[in-house]
Amino acid sequence: MFTGIVEEVGTVAALERGARVARLGVGARATLEGTGVGGSIAVSGACLTIVERRADGFVFELGPETLARTALGRLAPGDRVNLERPLRFGGALGGHLVLGHVDGVGTVEAVTRVESTTRVRIALAGPDLEPLLIPQGSVAVDGVSLTVAALGAGSFEVMLIPHTLAVTTLGALRVGQAVNIEADVIGKYLVRSLALRGMT
């Protein structure tokens, strides 16, 4: 479990595709501390298992489900990714509860500067995520805990403050870019519960 508070921005060293899995190498520094093979790291919002720990980063394996559900398969060497170690019991919950289980891939539709902040509109891939987003609710975009500023038909908007723009990959967002989306887990449980009761 994570909080959506990015600890550092890593750099993709390699993405090698195999017959069944892909191997993703990511350069890192701060998140190396206290982590090892078998541990987890959120990579742009996707919880991945470390299969190799190097002096300058990590190697992860991406299975078919991860490649299909996230934007990680589109990465290339030199791309930047948000990194976060798991939440430790007793640690501060600075963002919101993020599982690292990406619900789908969105597409950046608009990036608008508003003085020192930036407003971003993201289109959803389909209608499944729409019931899980509410105005002023929580959402993780590429692993960053954000607040939903507005909802549109098949899209939502977030506002990015200067700090977020500076310390995450979101400061370099561009129109057409794919981003990982994870809706708030509380909303997912609620929608599922109502569906089982025939109330949705």
**pLDDT attached to residue 92:** 65
- Within this chain, domains 8-84 and 104-196 share the same CATH topology: yes
Taking only the tens place, the pLDDT of each residue in 61-84 is: 999 999 999 999 999 999 999 999
Residue-level pLDDT at 60: 98
Enter the CATH code of domain 8-84.
2.40.30.20
What are 91-106's pLDDT values in tens digits?
666 778 899 999 999 9
Three-state SS letters, the chain:
CECCCCCEEEEEEEEEECCCCEEEEEECCHHHCCCCCCCEEEECCEEEEEEEEECCEEEEEECHHHHHHCCHHHCCCCCEEEEECCCCCCCCCCCCCECCCCCEEEEEEEEEEECCEEEEEEECCCHHHHHHCCCCCEEEECCEEEEEEEEECCEEEEEECHHHHHHCHHHHCCCCCEEEEEECHHHHHHHHHHHHCCCC
- 96: nearest Cα among 167, 155, 144: 144
Task: For the chain, report the end-to-end CA distance as a whole number of angstroms.
Answer: 28
Closest listed residue to residue 160, CA positions, set 142, 177, 184, 134: 142
* Domain boundary assignment for the chain: 8-84, 104-196
User: Which segment of 31-35, 38-42, 109-113, 184-188 scores lowest on mean pLDDT?
Assistant: 184-188
Architecture of domain 104-196: Beta Barrel (2.40)
Stated pTM of the model: 0.92
Give the residue from 195, 194, 180, 191 showing the smallest Cα distance to 73: 180
